[in-house]
Copies of this chain bind each other. A is one copy, B any other.
Amino acid sequence: MSESQSVGFKAIRSPNLVDQVADHLTEAIIVGRFTPGERLSEVGLARSLGVSRAPIREAARLLESRGLLVSQPRRGFFVRALDASELEDIFDLRLCLERHAMERLAHACTAETLAALYRQVGVLCDAAASGSESRRIEEDLTFHRMMIEATGNRRLLKNFDDLAHELRLCITLITKTHEDPDSIADCHHLLLDALESGEPARCREAIDYHIGVARDFVVRSVGESRPLARPH
């Protein structure tokens, strides 16, 4: 986010221009450089990034499949604007995926994965203490991603990764959080304690509570701030 977006955006990451454009656009959307509902001009993006329209179009298709953009035929691509209903859907789906992961892990969770998850709670708390909101969100998502990954179901993980992009989209809506690291640690240790107990009912209870808190936080936050989808 410190590099300029007009000339060259670090060209040494992937040999694939499409992925670079996709990463760049993703970041721009998440940090709010584009307003929700904004129309993205292909030629404008191509000019500002110094590339042709073809990579732009393919990257846009990629981001559309991830739910960050929506396309209208003959109109172009627009930054996805979430309304309250979609917000509910997203967190409901997250609950669906994570419940499943918790249940799978309740039956079979190795000591190593549990230890790794405990460590991740540590780095999450560090991130929260650092005051960087984006870092905190990212480490939080990493924790949950590790849980999904521990199930060994890569298809499930792919769905979670896609959903994570939309969850990041939510952070452009919330105002401020400044939660203290201790409560964050408690909140996540609750999940790990449930997993360690191996009781499915307790696991389910824990994840329901955890995601319910997150959902309430987001919907309350957007309720206080501006309306989600403002008319152009």
Binding site for B on A (CB under 8 A): 15-16, 54, 57-58, 61-62, 65-66, 73-74, 86, 88-90, 92-93, 95-97, 99-100, 153-156, 159, 163, 166
Q: Which residues of B contact A96 (CB under 8 A)?
A: 96-97, 100, 156
Known: A92-B156, A93-B156. 4 other contacts (CB 8 A): A15-B74, A93-B159, A96-B97, A155-B166
Number of copies: 2
Q: Which of A61, A62, A66, A88 has the most CB of B within 10 A?
A: A61
Chain A interface main SS type: helix
Report the bound CA distance from A91 to B65 in whole Å: 22
**Min CB–CB distance A85 → chain B (angstroms):** 8
A15-B73, A65-B65, A73-B15 known; A89 and B153 CB under 8 Å? yes
- Are the C-beta atoms of B153 and A92 separated by less than 8 Å? yes
Q: Which residue of B lies closest to A57 (CB)?
A: B58
In Å, the complex CA distance between A96 and B163 comes to: 15
Contacts of A54 in B (CB 8 A): 54, 57
Would you call A89 and B154 a contact (CB within 8 A)?
A: yes
Instruction: Using CB atoms, name the residue of chain B closest to A66.
Output: B65
Given A57-B58, A65-B62, A155 and B89 contact (CB-CB distance below 8 Å): yes
Closest 8 CB pairs of A and B: A65-B65, A96-B100, A89-B155, A89-B153, A93-B155, A61-B61, A92-B153, A93-B156
Taken together as a complex, chains A and B put the C-alpha atoms of A155 and B58 apart, in Å, by: 23
Smallest CB–CB gap between A214 and chain B, Å?
16
A156 closest partner in B (C-beta): B93
Q: What separation, in Å, do the CA atoms of A154 and B99 have in the docked complex?
A: 19
Tell me which residues across on chain B come within 8 A of A159, comparing CB atoms.
Answer: 93, 159
Chain B, Cβ-Cβ closest to A16: B73
